[in-house]
Chain A
Amino acid sequence: MPLSILAIMSVGLVVGAAIQCLAPLNFRPGIFFGVTVDPEFLRTEHARRILWRYRRPIIVMTVLCIAALWLVVPRLSGPAGPIAASALVFLGVGVAIVSMARATRHVRPFAKPLSPIRTVSVIPRKRTLPGGWLPFVGPMLMVGAAWLLLVMRRDSIPLEVYPGPLALLLWAFVSNAHFMSVAWLVTFRTRQINPSGAAAYEENTDTRFGYWLRLGFAYSLTFLLAGSALAVARITPAASPRFVVIWMASLPVSAMIVLAYVLKRRRLPLDTPGLAIGDNTPDACWKWGFIYHNPDDPALIVETRAGTFGCDLNFGNKWSWVVAAVILATPFVIRVLWF
């Protein structure tokens, strides 16, 4: 594997670990590792110990992964190298998820009952996509343009090559549909936790950031897949390794943008008027801090407990199973029907 790719992956692992370690800074007031607690609990020795227990495996695993990346992966030949490198990344993410689930268990003894008081604004929320419809459908337009180019130049593309670019564009289409639908749901279907004031403004800022992050991923993946499709079809010059390196470098850069946002995000004092403590979801309905099941909650998408600009499906709502099934089954259906 080229050294540049190893360097980029190392930076990505470090930045990813930094994001995971600093993620608790992004929890809502009154939420700690997916459990409703007293906001003052975060200043206690117990909280600091739990935080360290959460961060330690992530730091250790990141160091081990980077060491393996530089010592082991270069000695592997053929596809084993990239597969091993990818496996290390997934291992790092897996350790963070397990660490989060364990931290949730440690916090539960300090849980506080969810407040039954709900305060909501009676001003209808504006239903507009940040930036308008054009940036939102941009990735699909790019896929459509690439597909049109393929169709128009069909005669000049060897028959045995043709399915490959189509498959890449189909992959781009499906992943765009996923990102765009999640971005839409987050914009229009999540609830407002903070009803008014500075807290509501910060919440809306977080929602917009999450929207642009998802859209950014969609554009990035479309750029890679559509570009590769055109290169495979020999419509554009074959993609040089530099193209792949540049694309891969954009991933840790995106991670750094997220990290910068997490660090610079304004954390409001607890006595800010209109600041909601906790959220509107009962602790008992959360599993491991990131799987939510509550048939009594009408929301399809609920506020995440792992930050403030993510979301989770409510598996107590039957439509969330439909959404999850569509996401999981789509690649298999496409494989069976198309190829």
Chain B
Amino acid sequence: MTPTITIDLNAPIPVYRQIVDAMRHLLVNGALQPGDQVPTVRQLAIDLGVHFNTVAQAYRLLADEGWLDLKRRRGAMVMDRRRPAAPSKERQKQSLQRLRELTAQLQSEGIPANQIASQLRKLADTLVEEE
């Protein structure tokens, strides 16, 4: 199955953030392995129809997180990222707050609470299985 990313140009989330989140999802799930090449900034920008700087910003963020090794003119490569240490309590609190805000956003868009809960349970089960 070819790994793909999907973005919504009309979504309120900035495009570069969508690219980062989608790529991170592939990286965490193992769809992209260490050593894999990803498209160059130019190729991804042209395919998505967005500005080069948007993709470049997304790649820089992923490189800062340790996911990508950026090589000028030769595109980016997925790095062997060591599992990070457990985040601080403050950081955990912030991350969980983001999760709560996301569920609130989904509810405000009309998705029923029980559907959100069911999806979260499925995701949680998948994460535990992968562990």
Given contacts A120-B48, A122-B39, A124-B75, contact A196 B4 (CB under 8 A): yes
Size band of the interface chain B makes with A: 20 to 34
- In the complex, whether A117 has a CB less than 8 A from a CB of chain B is yes
A120 touches B45 (CB 8 A): no
Which of B6-14, B90-98, B110-118 forms part of the interface with chain A? Answer: B6-14
Which of B49-57, B101-109, B123-131 forms part of the interface with chain A? Answer: B49-57
A122 touches B32 (CB 8 A): yes
CA distance A298 to B47 in the complex (A): 9
Interface bits B23-52 vs A (CB < 8 Å: 1, else 0): 100100000100001111011111111111
Contacts of A274 in B (CB 8 A): 2
Given contacts A116-B8, A117-B6, A122-B5, contact A298 B49 (CB under 8 A): yes
B8 touches A121 (CB 8 A): no
Q: What's the tally of chain A residues with a CB closer than 8 Å to chain B? A: 24
B5 touches A117 (CB 8 A): no
- In the complex, whether B84 has a CB less than 8 A from a CB of chain A is no
Chain B residue with the shortest CB-CB distance to A114 = B9
CA distance A116 to B12 in the complex (A): 12
Chain A residue with the shortest CB-CB distance to B38 = A122
Contacts of A280 in B (CB 8 A): 47-49
B2 touches A116 (CB 8 A): no
Interface bits B72-94 vs A (CB < 8 Å: 1, else 0): 00010000000000000000000
Which of A173-181, A187-195, A239-247, A256-264 forms part of the interface with chain B? Answer: A187-195
Name the interface residues of A108-166: CB closer than 8 Å to any CB of B: 116-125
CA distance A80 to B84 in the complex (A): 81
B51 touches A298 (CB 8 A): yes
Given contacts A124-B38, A124-B43, A298-B52, contact A118 B7 (CB under 8 A): yes
B49 touches A121 (CB 8 A): no
CB distance from A329 to the nearest CB of B (A): 27
CB distance from B98 to the nearest CB of A (A): 24
CA distance A116 to B40 in the complex (A): 22
Contacts of A281 in B (CB 8 A): 49
B49 touches A299 (CB 8 A): yes
CB distance from B60 to the nearest CB of A (A): 17
A124 touches B37 (CB 8 A): yes
A120 touches B50 (CB 8 A): no
- In the complex, whether A94 has a CB less than 8 A from a CB of chain B is no
CA distance A121 to B26 in the complex (A): 11
B23 touches A118 (CB 8 A): no
Contacts of A196 in B (CB 8 A): 1-2, 4
B40 touches A124 (CB 8 A): yes
A197 touches B49 (CB 8 A): no
- In the complex, whether A297 has a CB less than 8 A from a CB of chain B is yes
CA distance A125 to B43 in the complex (A): 8
Contacts of A121 in B (CB 8 A): 2-4, 39, 47
Which B residues have a C-beta under 8 Å from some C-beta of A? Answer: 1-11, 23, 26, 32, 37-40, 42-52, 75
